[in-house]
Structures are given as structure tokens and as C-alpha cells.
Amino acid sequence: GENVEQHPSTLSVQEGDSAVIKCTYSDSASNYFPWYKQELGKRPQLIIDIRSNVGEKKDQRIAVTLNKTAKHFSLHITETQPEDSAVYFCAAEVKNAGNMLTFGGGTRLMVKP
């Protein structure tokens, strides 16, 4: 099965600084890696995803990088804003399991104004 480790568990940054969250996975056959943002009491929302045929994907202030050889992927948020404060989860596809995902433990990001 797939195992996903996520670090750090909490991250505090000053508004305008960058934030980086890192995840490692165990199954080299995994090809799909989404990132979700969850605000308190709300649903997890997909913010960006990456497939193994690319090494980097960017969407405005958010970017994700993937290193398949090392089996790790990272979320980068630039010019952080207070509304970026939330819990972020990385996930990795469980191969041959019908779109099942294994989630990391989550990172609580706090952006201080």
C-alpha cells in the first residue's frame, strides 16, 4: 500500500513570506498527487495537483514540484496572505485501487499579518 509523510505539522510565517510544505510517498507506481486546503469546519478543497509526467506545476501564487526519483513532492505558496491560513493536506494515488488516495497528516499554516 501507499504511505504518505507530511512535514511540517505546523508552519507559521509572516504575511508576504513564502511557505513550503513537503511530502514523501512510498509507492513508486503512484502517478497522481493532489493538494487540498481545509479551513476550519469546512470541506477539503483541491488547490492544485500534479501528475508524474511533469516535474512542476504553477497556478498564480501556488506551485507544486515533484521528484519521482526521490519520491517526494512539495507545495510552495509565495506572497502569503492571512486567508492562506488553513490546514493543507497532500495525497498520493493508491495504484490499482479505483482512484483511492492516501493522505498525509496535514500541515497547519498560520500567516501572521
Partner 1 sequence: GAVVSQHPSRVICKSGTSVKIECRSLDFQATTMFWYRQFPKQSLMLMATSNEGSKATYEQGVEKDKFLINHASLTLSTLTVTSAHPEDSSFYICSASGFALQETQYFGPGTRLLVL
Q: Distance between the two ends of the chain, CA-based, in angstroms?
A: 41
Which among 7, 8, 18, 34 is positioned nearest to 111, based on CA atoms? 18
Q: Which is nearer to partner 1, 21 or 44 (CB)?
A: 44
The yes or no reply on residue 32 touching partner 1 (CB under 8 A) is: yes
Helix (H) or strand (E) holding 109: strand 107-112
The residue from 54, 81, 100, 112 that contacts partner 1 (CB under 8 A) is 100
The amino acid present at 11, given as its one-letter code, is: L
Stretch that binds partner 1, among 12-20, 68-76, 77-85, 99-107 (CB under 8 A): 99-107
Binding site for partner 1 (CB under 8 A): 32, 34, 36, 41-46, 49, 89, 93, 97-101, 103-106, 108
